[in-house]
């Protein structure tokens, strides 16, 4: 059995994350082993899931990776869990295109034959909520909306009106309701989230949510719906056993702290599958670059919020610069790209020096400068992709890059807004704003580990 549920919303802001965390916390308190998943490319919500469940939450994205691989990630991630809770993204049917379900929570739910619990904000309606639920039921006959949770009810009486209408007109059960002021406000989802979670500072918030959900939502019925599901059939494609021909593992240093914490778990897993040993370090806390490394991965995060502290790590930045100059195979995505630039200027107008590997400056903006999925084509042969080879990823940032002098771009990226060249290329460096999903092209981790092995061999020969 693979008990599972999708927690979906009629739109963003209806309380998906709060209720998902509450359900996880309440079921965890009952002694169940819960596995979290997040539809789409988001990094922050999985951090909450991981903190609450004690298991690493994983992204399920049916646009960035093939459908069979979505199933494989789910089956692999769910192993040993009593229940998998899959949090949706945006509105239930929102995905890559307004013309189909590709990349949406709806598509994930049908791929996994998972019952859907639909969360509806009823703050300004009563019987009309039944029309909304009915519309979600009828738009795609392949989805299985199994229950409804009402959020932001004005009173128990108000919730009862909406419940009566839904159960009469839609033929499904309302599993509970939360009043407008029932749940505590979700903590700031930006600054210091990761260290606050790791230090246990949000445990009180999680426990409070779990208690509210235990009291207000019919968890027994929720479990019955989750258990009444067929097994997900999946081939081991992405993680099929690799024949180990390398005498030694390569060591890849991965930056992990409040400034750098956005990584798809499958990216790290695939590097390990290809023979890499992952060694974590914290640039923010002044940790040295790990010894005897053969590769460097600088992920996304919020370096701009810690620019003052990072700018003081001159010894580390000099070490990184020298290692890269020596040929260290390096991937820097978004926050890591910013860290390798010459400087970061904050929205307050303060400029801080950074590593200086990439010829350009970063300036923070007051609004999003880019968001969305990206089709990526390599303009050069790199440590990840051969020239012309493709992959998929996602872009999300509030900063702009201002080039200084000559620089070769590494990718051509295509999104809804058009096509442009992006990122910076050096023979041993791939750096850009796009977060690549290695499962979109498994050649990437394989090629990177091979590049790391070649670098290791050259270093050994020198010594």
Q: For the chain, what are the domain ranges? A: 4-227, 250-462
**What are residue 300's phi and psi, to 5 degrees?**
-80, 180
What is the pLDDT, as a whole number, of residue 462? 74
Q: What is the fold of 4-227?
A: Rossmann fold (3.40.50)
Catalytic residue among 170, 334, 424, 452: 334
What is the pLDDT, as a whole number, of residue 36? 98
> Bigger pLDDT: 317 or 188?
317
Whether 246 has a pLDDT exceeding 70, the answer reads no
Nearest to 62 by CA among 89, 35, 36: 89
CATH of 250-462, one of 3.90.110.10, 3.40.50.720, 3.40.50.880, 3.30.2130.10: 3.40.50.880
| Domains 4-227 and 250-462 in one fold | yes
pTM of structure: 0.93
Strand ordering across the sheet containing 116-121: 58-60, 34-39, 83-87, 4-9, 116-121, 145-153, 173-179
Arithmetic mean of pLDDT, 25-35: 97
CB–CB of 5/223 below 8 Å? no
pLDDT in tens, 303-313: 999 999 999 99
> Is-catalytic flag, 39?
no
- Give percent above pLDDT 90 in the chain: 86
What is the pLDDT, as a whole number, of residue 191? 47
pLDDT in tens, 248-279: 789 999 999 989 999 999 999 999 999 999 99
What is the pLDDT, as a whole number, of residue 5? 97
Arithmetic mean of pLDDT, 180-205: 70
Q: How far apart are the first and last CA of the chain?
A: 54
pLDDT in tens, 60-97: 999 999 999 999 999 999 999 999 999 999 999 999 88
């Amino acid at each position: 059995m693979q008990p599972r549920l999708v927690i979906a919303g009629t739109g963003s802001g209806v309380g998906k994350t709060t209720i998902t965390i509450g359900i996880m916390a309440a079921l965890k308190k009952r002694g169940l082993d819960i596995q979290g998943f997040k539809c789409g490319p988001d990094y922050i919500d999985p951090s909450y899931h991981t903190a609450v469940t004690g298991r690493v939450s994983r992204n399920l994205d049916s646009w960035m990776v093939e459908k069979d691989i979505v199933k494989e990630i789910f089956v692999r991630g769910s192993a040993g869990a009593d229940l998998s809770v899959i949090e949706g993204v945006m509105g239930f049917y929102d995905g890559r295109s307004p013309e189909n379900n590709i990349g949406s929570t709806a598509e994930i739910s049908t791929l996994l034959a998972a019952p859907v619990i639909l969360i509806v904000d009823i703050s300004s309606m009563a019987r009309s909520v039944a029309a909304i639920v009915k519309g979600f039921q009828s738009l795609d006959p392949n989805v299985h909306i199994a229950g409804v949770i009402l959020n932001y009810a004005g009173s128990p009486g108000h919730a009862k009106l909406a419940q009566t209408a839904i159960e009469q007109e839609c033929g499904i059960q309302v599993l509970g309701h939360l009043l407008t002021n029932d749940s505590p406000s979700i903590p700031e989802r930006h600054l210091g989230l990761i260290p606050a979670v790791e230090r246990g500072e949000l445990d009180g918030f999680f426990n409070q949510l779990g208690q509210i959900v235990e009291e207000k939502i019919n968890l027994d019925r929720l479990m019955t719906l989750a258990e009444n599901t067929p097994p997900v059939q999946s081939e081991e494609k992405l993680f099929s056993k690799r024949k180990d021909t390398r005498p030694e593992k390569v060591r890849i240093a991965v930056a992990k702290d409040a400034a750098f914490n956005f990584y798809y778990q499958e990216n790290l897993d695939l590097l390990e599958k290809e023979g890499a040993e992952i060694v974590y370090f914290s640039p923010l806390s002044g940790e040295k670059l790990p010894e005897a490394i053969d590769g460097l991965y600088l992920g996304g995060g919020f370096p701009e919020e810690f620019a003052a502290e990072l700018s003081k790590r001159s010894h580390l930045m000099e070490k990184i610069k020298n290692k890269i100059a020596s040929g260290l195979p390096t991937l820097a995505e978004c926050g890591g790209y910013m860290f390798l630039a010459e400087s970061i200027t904050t929205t307050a107008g303060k400029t801080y020096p950074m590593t200086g590997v990439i010829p350009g400056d970063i300036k923070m903006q007051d609004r999003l400068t880019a968001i969305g999925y990206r089709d990526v084509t390599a303009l050069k042969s790199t440590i990840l992709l051969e020239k012309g080879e493709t992959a998929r990823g996602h872009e999300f940032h509030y900063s702009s890059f201002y080039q200084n002098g000559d620089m070769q771009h590494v990718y051509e990226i295509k999104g809804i807004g058009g096509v442009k060249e992006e990122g910076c290329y050096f023979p041993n460096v791939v750096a850009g704003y796009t977060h690549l999903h290695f499962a979109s092209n498994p050649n990437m981790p394989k090629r990177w580990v091979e590049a790391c092995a070649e670098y290791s061999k050259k270093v050994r020969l020198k010594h």
